[in-house]
Amino acid sequence: MRERPGDDIRDKKAHPSSEFIGALFVIFLIYLVFHLLNIGCPIKFLTGISCMGCGMTRAFFALLKFDIKGAFSFHPLIFLMPVMAALYIFRGSLSKRGRKISVFTILGLFSIIYLLRLFDASDTIVVFEPENGFVYRCMSYLFERISGFLA
């Protein structure tokens, strides 16, 4: 029996929604590992500096409890998530220009909110504390050992 070119599994493209579900599953597994290791955000863990999405997971869990005010306080752009998911799922329906405008608008919104929260001293979710980051603590430890060795 002859094989046709389309019979090979590598020739078939996955449906965009299955790619989206696969990506969500991978993200879930990563978050599960971080949770089990009590790390939380890997960027904040490594650097001590919150990322633009800081508070988004807590906002999502607040929404699951119907705590809209809490969700908004954890991350004001939580309500943009369904829009972002829809844009991803229907990205083939958008023009290239429409996709670019969407991506830059969303990145701009995240950047503005991030900077506003970063410079707000009363905001306890987005923080700039490099001295609490893993990298800083490791470097400090190494420098202490090296300076003790050289002294």
Residue 49 scores a pLDDT above 60: yes
Question: Of the ranges 12-21, 36-45, 61-70, 123-132, which one carries the lowest mean pLDDT score?
Answer: 12-21
HEC string for the chain: CCCCHHHCHHHCCCCHHHHHHHHHHHHHHHHHHHHHCCCCCHHHHHHCECCCCCCHHHHHHHHHCCCHHHHHHHCCCHHHHHHHHHHHHCHHHCCHHHHHHHHHHHHHHHHHHHHHHHCCCCCCCCCECHHHCHHHHHHHHHHHHHHHHHC
Residue 1 scores a pLDDT above 60: no
Question: What's the average model confidence in pLDDT over 79-100?
Answer: 89
Quick: pLDDT tens for 111-124. 999 999 999 988 88
Quick: pLDDT tens for 52-67. 998 998 899 999 999 9
Question: What's the average model confidence in pLDDT over 96-118?
Answer: 93
